Structure 1
Amino acid sequence: MVTSKSYRVKIDEDTYSVADPVITGLQLLDTAGKRPSDEYLIFYLLSGGQLEEIRLDETVDLRQQGVERFITWRSDRSFRFVIDGRRFEWGVPLITGLKLKQLAGVDPQTYGVWLEVRGGEDRPVENTEMVDLNAEGVERFFTGKKTTTEG
């Protein structure tokens, strides 16, 4: 007797049911209607909050417990950066200070984020500020508790 089981995936903000427990990046993009698929990037949201780019021909095993989550971007390249020593990948060249804090897993109200400037003074990044990841090399960020001085 063959039973038909479906697996749930969340792609961007929508949830889908798929029959195949091992699915390719291309199949995930097709499921979400992201066409032409070669113009999109798809990232697997890992349990620690990091993103891992999935190639079109690469497979993902959906048999883990829970709903597997994916994020897509219409883009032709990904961008790498480091926060607090952990490497992240991102699908577009801009990212906000708030998103950096969320990816680092810190409280946005009590923590700040800084862009490491080699040979210069590290630069604070505000929550609404957009940081351009297009610069040569890997951007490095770090977080820390905000300090205030009463005046």
Structure 2
Amino acid sequence: MRDKEASMPDVTNFTYKLDGRVVATNDPIISGREVRALGGLDPASDYILIQIADRTSRSIGLEEAIDLREMPDCEFLSFAGDRAFSFTINERGWEWGSATISAADIYRYASIDEDLELILDSAGDTVIPADGAVTLGGQGVERIRSHEAKTVVIKVNGRSRTVPRRKHSYREIALLAYPDANFEKFKYTITYLKGVHGAEGDLVEGENIEVKNGMVFNVRRSDKS
């Protein structure tokens, strides 16, 4: 029994992610074609394969060898098509399998803090909306960079408001909900969610609060009498 066990091969499972799914293989070195095939992408030549690395990405050819032992957290994205698009994010080279890339994917795959603002250099330092996208494949290489935003978008009573990135007072938030606020006649009850570090609570008269993108305020007015 011991001899039989000793003669059995030492099989180790290697895994990678493809389009968010975990794929397993017993081969430590596989080709770009095999990555596609194991993920059900058939025929393999119909798909562009993009490898996500440390704040960068690159296209993987059909016969290119990938050593999974050197990349324990290997992640790939697939795109139907035959062209990869080149651009940069914070001066790091990127390739993508679609003619557009959403701001959400830039934040996610480039590991950019969502409180930072995305800028498109080639469009005269245009701000890329958080729910927007960048069109690739034009003349020249698109250059995207991130920096600290001067404004943030918050929600006050369900409505989006763009405000300066700084601390805001109780009265400033109340005025966003009720531009005609009368603090002598009415009482304003303010609660907030999704604050800095996930904070939530109440904002009262005399207090200031740091705001961030996606922060939610609910303001209710009642008669003091």
Taking structure 1 as the reference length, what is the TM-score of the superposition?
A: 0.87
Out of 48, 59, 64, the residue aligned to residue 65 of structure 2 is 59
- Larger CA deviation: 3-12 vs 73-82: 3-12
Residue identity opposite 2:38 in structure 1: T
Q: How does 1:1-151 map to 2 (within 5 A)?
A: 1=7, 2-46=9-53, 48-64=54-70, 66-108=72-114, 110-117=115-122, 121-148=124-151, 149=164
- Higher Cα Rg: structure 1 or 2? 2
Give distance in 1, aligned partners of 2:144 and 2:15: 34
Q: Is the 8 A contact 1:98 1:126 kept in 2?
A: no
SS in 1 for 2:69: coil
Structure that is richer in helix per residue: 2
- Higher RCO structure (Cα 8 Å, ≥6 apart): 1
Give distance in 1, aligned partners of 2:71 and 2:146: 31
Give distance in 2, aligned partners of 1:43 and 1:28: 11
Gaps of 5+ in 2: 1-6, 152-163, 173-225
Give distance in 2, aligned partners of 1:69 and 1:99: 14
Give distance in 2, aligned partners of 1:21 and 1:5: 8
Q: Is the 8 A contact 1:101 1:143 kept in 2?
A: no
Taking structure 2 as the reference length, what is the TM-score of the superposition?
A: 0.60
User: What's the offset of the Cα at 1:65?
Assistant: 6.3
**Percentage of pairs with the same residue:** 25
SS in 1 for 2:59: strand
Q: Is the 8 A contact 1:25 1:54 kept in 2?
A: yes
User: What's the C-alpha RMSD, in Å, of the aligned pairs?
Assistant: 1.9
User: What's the offset of the Cα at 1:33?
Assistant: 0.7
Gaps of 5+ in 1: none
SS in 2 for 1:56: coil
Alignment-derived partner of residue 156 in structure 2: none
Give distance in 2, aligned partners of 1:83 and 1:65: 22
